[in-house]
Amino acid sequence: MRDFKAELREATACRFSLDWIGNRSPREAWEEYPRGDYLLCCAARIGVERRFVVDAACDCVETVFHYLPLGENRPQKTIAVLRRWVADLATADEVAEAGKAVYRLAGAYGGHNLVPASYVVDAVFHIADAVDPGDPDAFANIGRALTAVASADGRRAYIAAAAVYLNGPGHFWRRRSFISTATRVKICLADVCPAIDATHAKCADLVRKRIPWELVAEARDK
């Protein structure tokens, strides 16, 4: 059996992960790790059954559907097809077709993640892409969907904090200029980073709900 630290290192490419694990057992690390995107990548690369991994990703992206414009339901329809695929009621080809609709929607944002909804679309596309049996890299990197979920919440936190700043004392002059770099950093540290961290932790709990340690241990033993 491979060392769990090595498995997590491959999934995260993050020195923080190794320092965080310390002397924790593999089970303790899985049950306590605070980032859902890294856990999901780790599960995929270890060999946890694809349907469990996809199901967990769907749970996470559904938490940010409220950022989508009113009447825009293509991401929800794609997730519905993915849920049917998880239940063996839809084919990978049907998922691919649904994914194309989301890909076209991503084009409407021009590739710029300026609004939370653009991250939601990215997340759904990554999940649909991970179902393709001919693209193992997409499945191995399915955690990118959860990174996008956290980024959606982070972007919303930034927009809200920036609005407060621009409409606070001295707002007349502030509206006539861009937010300074120093102020952007302050907003990120005070509002954006905590929002992203909270979403990562929430997604980690959702991942563990679908993929408890027992499934991970079973995959590692194979």
| Per-domain residue ranges of the chain | 4-221
Do 81 and 98 meet the contact criterion of CB atoms below 8 Å apart?
A: yes
Do 41 and 143 meet the contact criterion of CB atoms below 8 Å apart?
A: yes
How close are the terminal C-alpha atoms of the chain, in Å?
9
Residue 196 CA to residue 151 CA, distance in Å, equals 6
Structure token digits, residue 82? 């993915």
Predicted pLDDT at 172: 43
Do 171 and 137 meet the contact criterion of CB atoms below 8 Å apart?
A: no
Structure token digits, residue 196? 């992203």
Do 127 and 61 meet the contact criterion of CB atoms below 8 Å apart?
A: yes
**Single-letter amino acid code for the residue at 170:** G
Chain-centroid distance of CA 133 in Å reads: 21
**Single-letter amino acid code for the residue at 7:** E
pLDDT in tens, 80-122: 999 999 999 999 999 999 999 898 887 776 555 678 999 999 9
Give the ranges where the chain is alpha helix by DSSP (H).
Answer: 4-12, 15-21, 26-32, 36-46, 50-61, 74-86, 92-108, 116-130, 136-140, 143-166, 171-174, 181-187, 193-210, 213-221
Low-confidence residues in the chain, pLDDT < 50: 169-170, 172-174, 176
Predicted pLDDT at 167: 63
Predicted pLDDT at 220: 85
**What is the radius of gyration, based on Cα positions, of the chain?**
19
